[in-house]
């Protein structure tokens, strides 16, 4: 009887529904950012750290050291150190946030190395490099391959992403509305942010199943924004309600997906998008609200209550 029970338990474990296998890590770009629509940089950092602690999650912050001390209100280096002391990790996002397709390889690598020189001695450092704008050379395969070789020579892993909800655009729309003195429906803004981020994760899960036939640990691209500081806790709760497990970036980047180097006509965007393209999946291979025109219209309608002409 005991053996039969053990066999039944094992069978049930193998039959875990797909929903329970959804894993995602949270990562934040462009750290340290300057003041946003509602908060000082100090307030933003404090809120994010408190929210991550309450939710019991660890995140990765992709740093632009060139932004330290540039209109960041409070010392950017100290705010980065506070994230690390709270248990989070930091990685390279370039010193000056350059676009590879618009920059000579030598200059681009010099910028990357300058950021690495600042980051490597820091506690919490991870040897990951994330391409600014997710631009890995676009249609220039010579640049793409040069950077792939350069990262390998430096012992750096591509800090790829698999989920993107273009949160930067929601933040930009919010800042513009505040500067213009427009009335912002804060509840509608929260709902739109949470809905967009969670839908982006669900889209990534579906795309992974189509392109890979499995559910890897997803890597979510976000930014250190006021909207994240205000609403990321709501996003985490909704993800968990939908069966997602929020895992550490270290766990996500241990996935075999880290070895993927898809060969596609244009190297820019999420890794899943490129893999789907390489495998011949038809467009669109990206979450709908990454279309800025669509996202802007939703913001105007739902947050500003503007009627389209």
* DSSP states along 179-202: HTT----HHHHHHHHHHHHHHHHH
Please give the model's pTM, rounded to 2 decimal places: 0.92
Which residues have CB under 8 Å from 138's CB, separation 6+? Answer: 100, 101, 266, 267, 268
Q: Do residues 294 and 166 touch, judged by C-beta distance below 8 A?
A: no
- How many alpha carbons lie under 13 Å from residue 15 in its C-beta half-sphere? 6
Instruction: Band the pLDDT of 307: cuts 50, 70, 90.
Output: confident
- Per residue in 147-204, pLDDT (tens digit) is 999 999 999 999 999 999 999 999 999 999 999 999 999 999 999 999 999 999 999 9
Place of tokens 């590879």: 100
Average pLDDT across the chain, whole number: 93
Dist. CA 122–CA 116, nearest whole Å: 10
- In the chain, the domains with their CATH numbers are 21-302 (3.20.20.370)
- Per residue in 27-78, pLDDT (tens digit) is 999 999 999 999 999 999 999 999 999 999 999 999 999 999 876 556 899 9
């Amino acid at each position: 009887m005991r053996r039969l029970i053990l066999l039944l338990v094992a069978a049930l474990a193998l039959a875990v529904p797909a929903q329970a296998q959804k894993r995602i890590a949270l990562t934040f770009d462009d750290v340290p950012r300057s003041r946003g629509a509602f908060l000082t940089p100090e307030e933003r950092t404090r809120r994010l750290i408190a929210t991550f602690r309450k939710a019991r999650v660890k995140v990765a912050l992709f740093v632009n050291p060139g932004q330290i001390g540039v209109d960041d209100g409070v010392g950017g280096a100290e705010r980065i150190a506070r994230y690390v002391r709270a248990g989070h990790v930091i990685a390279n996002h370039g010193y000056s946030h350059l676009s590879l397709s618009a920059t000579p390889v030598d200059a681009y690598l010099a910028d990357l190395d300058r950021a690495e020189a600042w980051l490597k001695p820091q506690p919490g450092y991870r040897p990951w490099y994330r391409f600014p704008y997710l631009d890995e050379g676009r249609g220039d395969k010579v640049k793409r391959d040069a950077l792939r070789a350069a990262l390998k020579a430096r012992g750096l892993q591509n800090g790829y992403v698999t989920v993107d909800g273009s949160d930067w655009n929601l933040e930009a729309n919010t800042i513009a509305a505040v500067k213009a003195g427009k009335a912002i429906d804060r509840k509608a803004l929260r709902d739109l942010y949470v809905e967009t981020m969670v839908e982006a994760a669900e889209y990534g899960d579906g795309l992974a199943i189509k392109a890979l036939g499995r559910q890897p640990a997803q890597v979510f691209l976000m930014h250190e924004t006021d909207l994240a500081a205000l609403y990321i806790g709501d996003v985490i709760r909704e993800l968990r309600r939908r069966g997602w497990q929020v895992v550490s970036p270290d766990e996500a980047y241990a996935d075999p997906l880290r070895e993927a180097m898809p060969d596609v006509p244009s190297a820019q965007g999420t890794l899943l998008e490129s893999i789907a393209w390489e495998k011949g999946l038809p467009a669109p291979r990206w979450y709908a609200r990454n279309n800025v025109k669509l996202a802007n219209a939703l913001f105007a309608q739902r947050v500003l209550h503007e009627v389209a002409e």
